[in-house]
Amino acid sequence: MGRRVALVLGAGGARGYAHIGAVQVILERGHEIVTIAGTSMGALVGGVTAAGRLEEYTEWATGLTQYDVWRLLDMNLGGGGAIRAERVFAKVADILGGALIEDCAVPFTAVATDLNNRREVWFQRGPVATAIRASVAIPSIVTPVVVGGRLLVDGGLMNPVPIEPTTATSSDLTIAVSLQAGHTRGVDIQPASPVRSVSALTESVRSLTSRVGALIGHTGAEGHPTEPHADDVAHEVEPVTESTGSPERAGADRGLDYLPAPKDLTSSEVFNRSFDTMAALITRYRMASNPPDVLVSVPSDACRTMDFHRAAEMIALGRELTQRALDDAGY
């Protein structure tokens, strides 16, 4: 028997293609999606779904090659981000055809972050394309935008899996898709992105983690500080004792006991992992007070943030993980 589903789609770059697979499985099982909230890539997939354009968007996304992605990512030397991606957003706007949020068949909320006021912004009226553009502005990577006098960036900074906007709509169950599950390959370091110029241009993000930490801290939706859970605090640093050979130890001559970072580890990879770590922590805090009925967890190392040529693979992963989560929950 089909259920009325409140669907929540989280932030996570190209991993967000998994949201498409989740939507497909939910509908194939006879459930009705009655409200959608999304952040970042979740806002994009949620927006085209609410506007009835998911099939057209999916057809376009699955046809992208690495070269297509490179061509669509407009490099930028100013304006607060390494890329503008205006060609991408122009295509998304074309697919949406001027759709307004208030006219969508399914109620939709896109979540962005107001940097000046340090608050969430919920888009529940106006052009779907504008809401998506504001929500996907990954700090220092995709340029921010100004809407209504507010400087807006990625909603994942404050609400990576935005369950709260869906609570106003009556539903039978809430299904949330988080793109912040732990790495599946432990300490393995992925190679640099094939779109090498993106990595080169995002060298400036090395200091972003500390700046984001100062901006967010441990805050709730309204910016009120909260205490970290005891399990989230490292009480003791364990010394590194395992070794598979005789690697050169940085600072060994000064009695320091640590290894240098891998030489192929890029600044953009450090940023991506740092952002994911922060987002995972915020997600845990916020879900503790408002848990979904079904949680679909996509590993954060399923693909790199800018791997937008891997749509088919991520859609398949989203389908697999959603089927498993729904089966386990009995839906």
Query: Residue for token digits 């930490």?
Result: 213
108, β-bridge pairs: 36
Element spanning 71, H or E? helix 66-72
Beta-strand (E) ranges in 10-96?
32-39, 81-83
DSSP string, 1-28: ---EEEEEE---GGGGGHHHHHHHHHHH
Fill in the amino acid letter for 214.
A
Contact 302/186 with Cβ under 8 angstroms?
A: no
Active-site residue, selected from the candidate residues 114, 140, 154, 193: 154
Is 40 catalytic? The answer is: yes
3-state secondary structure of 209: helix
Is 232 catalytic? The answer is: no
Give the up-direction half-sphere exposure of residue 331: CA atoms within 13 A in the CB hemisphere: 24
- Quickly count helices (H) and strands (E) in the chain: 10, 10
Per residue, the 3-state secondary structure of 227-239, as one string, reads CCCHHHCCCCCCC
Query: Residue for token digits 């972050």?
Result: 113
CA-based radius of gyration for the chain: 20
Per-residue burial over 167-181, b = 16 or more CB atoms within 10 Å of its CB, e = otherwise: eeeebebbbbbbbbb
Instruction: List, by residue number, the catalytic residues.
Output: 40, 154
